Chains A and B, each alone.
Chain A
Amino acid sequence: MTRPLHIGFIPLIDAAALILAVDRGFTAAEGLDVTLVREVSWSNIRDKLNVGLFDAAHLLAPVAIASSLGLGHIKVPIVAPFNLGLNGNAITVSPPLHAALMAEIDGDRFDPMATARALSRVVASRRRGGAEPLTFGMTFPFSTHNYQLRFWMAAGGVDPDEDVRLVVLPPPFMADSIASGQIDGFCVGAPWNSIAVDRGVGHILHFVSDILERAAEKVLAIRAGWSEKNPQVVAALVRAASRAAEFIEQPQNRAEVAFVLARPEYIGVDADLILRTLEGRLKISPDGTFRECRRYLLLGREDASRPDPVQAAWLYAQMVRWGQAPMSAEALGTAKRVFRPDLYAAALDRGKLAANSPHPVGAFAGPNFDADDIAGHLASFRIGRWKPL
């Protein structure tokens, strides 16, 4: 056994690989003594990881990059040797906004370009009528939720900084806030969209996989310095998380996984609701309409666990687009090096796999993403805070 490790997590479904790794004894089998610590905010996770109270954490991928770049906070280099979750976010809107969008939509309601253009018309008509701008909730300034919402609405001509309000809200507050009318929509991870639908206060408008084919949302984050000093421990953690991810993705294990995650010390919500998100079969409307998507919430399948520097580059590009980070080749390099497929491959002896299978980001709008030419890529978007010289 190594010395005890403390790993922080936020109660979300994409913490599953960490939770199951500990709960099913995969970490113990690797000789690790892990204590999971449930946290209430991403700021806490970031700070406790930074100061060493946590050895590792379930973290928003963009926070790992922001921390490595010293954006908004002290600079602490982070490495991500394992992806904990892809494509688990969804955009939910209030029943009145849903009705307004459906009245304006011209095209398929699951086509994000059609909904974004409808949103643009709703925004314009509200402005003409003197109504308050629409308000959307997301979970953190440096979050995929923030960037996914922005990417979607900007494609339809809505400027996320000028035409609507984006506000940070902790995930457990989303359903209450949409019910009370404080917000008109939000982008959040599982299970919080389903909770709003079950309560009859929201419609799931999009799975994030409508917007991007692959979006790395949460990573296993470790301080770079600590990782260098403890390569064996990092490899053991990656192996344990990988075994857990494989376990979670076996359809016959889903009910058990949902049951474990539902426990109050982990996520503490209804097991049936968790099961639906694991199955990628979600109730999207209070009237009981279901929608199935095989790309919803990748917790390990389709090579999801392998950190992909292209994803890190895309996230950095969003930081530049929305004015959070300056454009620099050096910063781009730093961002890419946060995602460590080499550590992943070394732990699992999957070197070949890492070299041979690139996955595109696959955004629904704009040109194909080029991880080596952020400026050229961003120049093709009309709305954004960054402008080419």
Chain B
Amino acid sequence: MGAESSPKIAIVDESPIRAAILEEGLREAGYTDVVRIGEMQSLLSRIYALDPDVIVIDLENPSRDILEQMFQVSRAVRRPIAMFVDQSDAASIQASVDAGVSAYIVDGLKKERLKPILDLCISRFNAFSKLQDELDRTKSALEDRKVIDRAKGILMKLKGLTEDEAYVLLRSTAMREKKKIGEIAQSILTASELLK
């Protein structure tokens, strides 16, 4: 980062986990002055109190429109901010919108100092979504396991099968019907509910 001091970065994100991941990434990269804002009440006055050089916000946040107000020159705005982009940066917008993050640069900070910060935010946001996807998949796998176990129990009871036989029956039915085992198991549970 050279002789220049670390810019003050405010992360506006209602997801504490993602904000923590982002903060950690920024600190590792040598940005020591990072503040998280997780509470959207009086967002503008919080930002004024912090007086950051860079503001990073997630795109799921309705409060993003509040930041847009800071582009305007008016009494309510003390230090105008700008989008990180100029006409040549279309690719940056594309990448950041895809990742679900947006960054604003406050009057005074050089644009080229923002680029590495934004790139880092994009990669951390992408990493977070990947993690989230994996978590969702694990959750649904666990959910499937529970459903399959219950379906096996029903088959064992109704058809007098062993656990292994019940599983083989589920699997072969799934293959024949070109469906997932979880789906077959779910339909067994639904059917047994109906037939109760």
| A residues neighboring B (CB under 8 Å) | 40-44, 47-48, 50-53, 70, 72-75, 139-141, 161-162, 165-170, 172-173, 182, 323-324
Contacts and interface: CB of A to CB of B under 8 A. Distances in A.
A167 B44 contact: yes
Residue of B65, B69, B83 with most chain A CB atoms under a 10 A cut-off: B65
B87 A75 contact: yes
Contact of A170 (B63, B73, B97): B63
A166 B75 CA distance: 9
B93 A44 contact: no
19 contacts: A42-B68, A44-B59, A44-B64, A47-B102, A52-B94, A70-B87, A72-B72, A73-B83, A74-B85, A74-B86, A74-B89, A74-B93, A166-B74, A167-B44, A169-B66, A170-B62, A170-B63, A170-B66, A323-B73
B87 A141 contact: no
Nearest to B60: A40
Contacts, number: 81
B86 to A, nearest CB: 7
Contacts of A41: 59, 61-65
Nearest to B73: A323
Interface of B: 42, 44, 59-69, 71-76, 83, 85-87, 89-90, 93-94, 97-98, 102
Query: Main SS of the interface on chain A?
Result: loop
Contact of A42 (B42, B63, B65, B97): B65
Nearest to B65: A41
A72 B102 contact: no
B93 A51 contact: yes
B94 A168 contact: no
B102 A43 contact: yes
A151 B94 CA distance: 36
A19 to B, nearest CB: 19
A91 B42 CA distance: 22
B75 A141 contact: no
A356 to B, nearest CB: 39
Contact of B97 (A53, A140, A166, A167): A53
A43 B68 contact: yes
Nearest to A162: B75
